Structure 1
């Protein structure tokens, strides 16, 4: 099967500010793509461009091989969306909401919705405007997982959740991908969540993609070394992904630990450390 989501050379500006600079990456079937970047890096603009909520200046976005999903109602139904701010009618209860979505989605799965509502300990007869932020996020996720979507677009979907709730939600997301061979594009500032479930990593800074790679390859082949200026010159420039000057030494991210010269020892790395080094590295 081809990629569920393909973003190619997408560019977006607001007035004179370029927000997305020819970004390119994919969400393959069976993948969870962790989309990482600082505030203002371009993540939300990317999501809105993918969903057709704002227009792009250049490039292509294909969902299930089709451009402009707003023209394809059936395709839109196969995309589940959760934003940081809830977009559900707050004057309704969960039971009333179920009735609304039964009419809205041909593929609405009431049994799965109520399973998730019960699993997430959400009240059936309480109006949504009385929900806490965490409860609202869990309800949004339950909706996204209950209309047989094949692609989930999740923007900070685990924000506001306590650790136990986050673990429960992450397990549901992994189960969704495993059972449906679907895909997820997930942005999060919580690196432990990304480390736990992401099969692919995309790191964005100032509208540019700095890294797009499978998580296993990053953790197996990439490394960070701390070296002085002399040893820095010994490292093959082709494997240097990023470097950061600390004054007396440099932290250097390399793409192939096996190509490091003798005498330069890598240290254990995490996705969070890679993300920080990339987003704070020199141009």
Structure 2
């Protein structure tokens, strides 16, 4: 379908943090989960994509266009959802919509009204009196109402109750029925991505740890559990981090076949979650030790 977002050798340095040669691509018709612990570089990357801050080096192409040289054109085709409220609190839902809609050349009042009805948005209620979930629904309705092709979601489900989170995830998935659209979904709630993501990009300490399809990621990795006497003095090469206690060990491996070949039925081999993968990689990187 073609690349809708392409980031090449992207770098940005601050006094105490740096993004280092970031590379990944997102094609049309897919959802990419963007994960990493707090302070890993997720927000900086999103600000660079949205041209809210200037890069030091590298390239960001959206719809095949340079994001700095084509800022207005690109933003007209992006639906952006923040995790926090950035609306005027004193305005009503209708008044805020009337302020925003003229900025989009392809604003569709019919689509907005349809989502407003589905989300049960109170048109005459001030923004400050909306619940967090209702504010997020309003933000999403705005993002969905101007025929955007790329949706950039920055922690859209953070702090929401499970019912509303599930409802929003259903909306995200329904968007992808149009194979020209894509979603870039930054979140620390990896269980949401377990449900809907096609690709996972994991960033830590300003560097991309991995970027691949979710299915491949979960198929390649496995959780290994066994007794302490099964471990050698050194951490096995195919283990990514290791947790030990008086009863045994638990580790993450990126080579399930090799683990089964080496240990056979003497260990438990389980399918990991995205949270398992993120935690093991992060702790290995942070502690630089074989076990923890």
1:101–1:108 CA contact under 8 A, matched in 2: no
Separation (CA, whole Å) in 1 of partners of 2:28 and 2:120: 30
Moved more, 93-102 or 202-211: 93-102
Please name the residue that 1:4 is paired with.
4
1:132-211 mapped onto 2 (5 Å cutoff): 132-211=131-210
In 2, Cα distance between equivalents of 1:80 and 1:136: 15
Cα distance in 2, alignment partners of residues 225 and 202 from structure 1: 23
Cα shift readout 1:48-104 (whole Å, capped 9, x = no counterpart): 011111111121111111113463422211111112222223332222233334422
Q: 1:32-181 maps to which residues of 2 (within 5 A)?
A: 32-69=31-68, 71-181=70-180
Distance 1:241 1:151 in 2: 37
Closer, same or farther in 2 for the Cα pair 1:107/1:127, shift >3 Å?
same
* Cα gap change, 1:232 to 1:28, in 2 (>3 Å): farther
Are residues 96 and 279 of structure 1, via their aligned partners in 2, closer, same or farther at CA, if it must alter by over 3 Å?
A: same
Cα-to-partner distance string for 1:136-165 (whole Å, 9 max, x where unaligned): 122111111111111111111111221111
Secondary structure, counterpart of 1:122 in structure 2: coil
**Structure 1 241/49 Cα, relative in aligned 2: closer, same or farther at 3 Å?**
farther
Q: Do residues 244 (structure 1) and 246 (structure 2) align?
A: no
Once the 2 structures are TM-superposed, how far is the Cα of residue 250 of structure 1 from its aligned partner?
5.5
Indicate if the aligned counterparts of 1:150 and 1:180 stay in contact, CA closer than 8 A.
Answer: no
Q: Distance in 2 between matches of 1:91 and 1:180?
A: 38
TM-score by length of 2: 0.87
**2:284 aligned counterpart, secondary structure:** coil
Q: Report the CA distance shift for 1:53/1:102 in structure 2 as closer, same or farther (over 3 A).
A: closer
TM-score (norm 1): 0.89
CA drift at 1:247: 6.2
Which has the larger displacement, 198-207 or 69-78? 69-78
State the alpha-carbon separation in 1 of the partners of residues 72 and 211 from structure 2. 30
Q: Is the 8 A contact 1:98 1:110 kept in 2?
A: no
Report the count of equivalent residues: 278
* Cross-structure match for 2:270: 267
Any idea what SS the aligned residue of 1:280 has? helix
Extract unaligned runs of 5+ from structure 1: none
3-state SS of the aligned residue for 2:3? Answer: coil
Tell me, which stretches of 5 or more residues in structure 2 are unaligned? none
Q: How far, CA to CA, are the matches of 1:109 and 1:70 in structure 2?
A: 26
Whether the 8 Å CA contact 1:3–1:26 is kept in 2: the answer is: yes
After superposition, the CA RMSD in angstroms is 2.2
Contact kept in structure 1, 2:33 and 2:184, CA below 8 Å? yes
CA contact 1:8–1:23 (8 Å) conserved in 2: yes
Q: Following the alignment from structure 2 to structure 1, what is the Cα–Cα distance between the partners of residues 111 and 278? A: 35
Separation of aligned partners in 1, 2:255 and 2:185? 26
